[in-house]
Amino acid sequence: MDCISDKDMDMLRDICSGEVLQGVDLSLISHWRIGGRAELVLRPSSTAEVAALRRWFYQRGMAHLVIGKTTNVLFADEGLHVPCIQIGAVMSRFSIEHGEVYADAGVWVPGMSRTLMLNGLTGGEHLCGIPGTLGGLICMNGGSNSRSIGGNVISVESVDSRGSVVDRDAEECGFGYRSSIYQTNDEIVTSVRMRFLPGVCSAIRVEMLKDLANRRRKFPLKEPSCGSVFKSSPGIYADFGPPGAVIEKLGFKGMRVGGAMVSPKHANFIVNTGRAKAADVLEIMKSIRDAVYAQTGYLLEAEARYVTPGGKVLPASSVL
């Protein structure tokens, strides 16, 4: 990491009202429980603080990384050698007015889904089992059951690499299948305005309970993972079925490399059985991707994102 002096640290603490942590073990904050040591982690509480931090780093020519709950992130075994801004619980304001929702990027998605249900709003049921923050959900245009959050978005507020605040309406966000412009434009989602329709609370609750029961039945929720490793692209789904089924047919369930294993419960999950390394996960992913390509002619694209020691965030499939 570029040298940060004691004076610099004092300045960063003045900017960031949340935690400012040094020497953080990434395996303790990673959803996969994998990663080396982060030299500096900052947890801001507002868009203004995110903007001030990014501006501070830009003015000094310092690379940095911004993360959320890390539910689709694989950190390098070598750790993280650039400052890291983590958007989380201290940045989670949430309000509802006439079916319109305002939410900070650090809002916990399952909690948001439940709050929508309790307020008689429908459209967020499919989010109830997605373990992540809203910022990451927007970035990935996440969802389940063939639905995506982008359909509910009115506008998104973000902060660019120079620390300027940017507002975009939904059309400008470039939402596509598990994608948005925020995956490539180096802007950090800080808050979202969304619209949900009135519904019947009891009916919404029943649908959510069914979804959660289905997830418990299908997915290895008790072991550290990043959820689905590979995207279920429309092409391979139409020709061969979902990635999990294709991977299972090729015999990968239960495959182990080091502490990483293809889940015996769902073949599109790679779980950490204890002390797994990023290298273990990447080796399994490469074996699966090569085998699926040989069998189907489709190159699976990773949902999981790989974070290099220098803070670059890449599709994990690009480093196999």
In this model, does residue 3 exceed pLDDT 90? no
Exactly one of 168, 178, 289, 305 is catalytic; name it.
Answer: 178
- The verdict on whether 202 is a catalytic residue reads no
Exactly one of 228, 232, 263, 317 is catalytic; name it.
Answer: 228
| Topology at the third CATH level for domain 6-86 | 3.30.43
> What class has domain 220-319?
alpha beta
Digit-coded pLDDT (tens) for 157-172: 999 999 999 999 999 9
Digit-coded pLDDT (tens) for 105-153: 999 999 999 999 999 999 999 999 999 999 999 999 999 878 999 999 9
The pLDDT of residue 21 is: 96
The pLDDT-based confidence of 261 (bands split at 50, 70, 90) is: very high
Domain ranges of the chain: 6-86, 94-203, 220-319
- The verdict on whether 228 is a catalytic residue reads yes
pTM over 0.85: yes
Exactly one of 301, 303, 305, 317 is catalytic; name it.
Answer: 303
| Topology at the third CATH level for domain 94-203 | 3.30.465
The pLDDT of residue 99 is: 84
- The verdict on whether 223 is a catalytic residue reads no
The pLDDT of residue 178 is: 86
Digit-coded pLDDT (tens) for 178-230: 899 999 999 999 999 999 999 999 999 999 999 999 999 999 999 999 999 99
Cβ contact 79:279 at 8 Å: no
